[in-house]
Amino acid sequence: MAFDVEAIRAEFPILQRQVHGKPLVYLDSAASAQKPRAVIEAMTRAMEHSYANVHRGLHTLANETTDAYEAARRKVAAFIGADEGEIVFTKGGTEAVNLVAAGLGAGLEPGDEVVISEMEHHANIVPWHFLRERQGVVLKWVRVTDDGALDLDHFQSLLGPRTKVVALSHMSNVLGTINPAKDLARMAHEAGARVLFDGCQAIVHKPVDVKDIDADFYVFSGHKLYGPTGIGILYGKAELLRALPPYQGGGEMIATVSMDEITYADPPHRFEAGTPPILEAIGLGAAIDWLSGMDRLAAAEHEHRLYRRVRDGLSGANWLKVIGEAEGKGAILSFTVDGAHAHDVAQILDRYGVAVRAGTHCAEPLMRRFGVTSSARASFALYNTEHEADAFVDALTKTQAFFA
């Protein structure tokens, strides 16, 4: 079955718009993806027909909304091969990492070690830095090779008796590198550590089965997965979630409260204090339904074809430096243009209707590793076209001429 990108595009109203009088070429999906009508309509329908707070009502709308919210949890669980009790709704991937770091951190002693890597997003760095600052936990950093792969020998050499947690990206938001999660989990477990994967990017581009990987924790955001902002997912193995202390306190996460003591609800509700992101969960459920109706391997191949087309189109560009060329990488192109600041490159590209990201991509240690202060990044999604890939090559070539 051919991958029908035009049919897919037609489902994204925003892709019809123009920017500075040019057709929008949206190459910033790694920061946040656009939303298909199925997601927009699911959220609108909920607000127009069946909306109330969840879990605490005895009336029809509350029950309907609770059903829709819990159905979304089941959709997420099925999407990654988990049980519904193992899915916690958070406000984003960032909050999910913070929840795990705070919970696991409560059991760590000074000198205990957390292994992260040079390619992590700040979301998977700063929560572990808190443990270093506050508790004397030691951070160990896995090196990244020159082509942007994780140095597996170095990873192995960092694992030891004090390693308590391994927290690694499944796919880098800068390099596009896809890390061998199953191997990493096995190595971490052999060392007796818990392993968390930051799946914010990987989940968008490849089928993920958390049980096959044997992840202890797996986190991602809704908004990169064609769903809304304000929702993230923490998957945790049932027995590990049960052992994790609560993160935030409030309504819904308790079993009983008295003046002298509290008892907590079971996971996942223990970690969902207060009114949760109800509409956002429903929207994410719709995004997952929408994605599940798609040939995801064909989508990944399509994205990769666009990446190759851009690389080929720029093969003669001696002014371009690409960061991240690891084998099997996903369709993310980070680059610098000789003599130009990445912010200027992005702003000029915008005049041609091309949206790319520029800056440190919340990955300052990685920028330092590659000796740059910033880079520009074009990221490809399943709704991008070959025509857009060519438009990007053309716009970037014209942009470079400003700096030549």
Q: Which of 126, 273, 362, 372 is catalytic?
A: 362
- Least distance in Å: CB of 353 to ligand PMP? 23
Query: Least distance to ligand PMP from the beta carbon of 203, Å?
Result: 10
Q: How far is CA 29 from the centre of its chain?
A: 11
Nearest to 384 by CA among 331, 330, 345: 331
307 alpha-carbon distance from chain centroid: 19
Spatial CB neighbours of 312, under 8 Å, sequence gap ≥ 6: none
Coil, strand or helix: which one is 217?
A: strand
Ranges assigned E (strand) in 119-200: 138-142, 163-169, 194-198
Q: How far apart are CA 180 and CA 96, in angstroms?
A: 21
Residue 65 or 169 with smaller CB distance to ligand PMP: 169
Tokens of 376: 């520009």
Q: Which lies closer to ligand PMP via its Cβ, residue 55 or residue 357? A: 357
Least separation in angstroms between residue 5's CB and ligand PMP is 24
Name the residue nearer to ligand PMP (CB basis): 381 or 391: 381
Residue with tokens 């019809």: 16
- The residue among 5 and 323 lying less far from ligand PMP, judged by its C-beta, is 323
Report d(CA 96, CA 82) in Å as an integer: 16
Q: Are 29 and 377 in contact (CB under 8 A)?
A: no
Site residues (vs ligand PMP, CB under 6 A): 31, 92-94, 121, 123-124, 169, 173, 198, 200-201, 221, 223, 232, 362
CB of 315 vs ligand PMP, minimal distance in Å: 27
200 carries an active-site annotation: no
Report, in Å, the least distance between residue 241 CB and ligand PMP.
20
Contact predicate 244/264, CB 8 Å: no
Residues belonging to the chain: 404
Is residue 399 within 8 A of residue 319, CB to CB? The reply is no
Whose Cβ is closer to ligand PMP: residue 228's or residue 246's? 228
Active site residues: 362
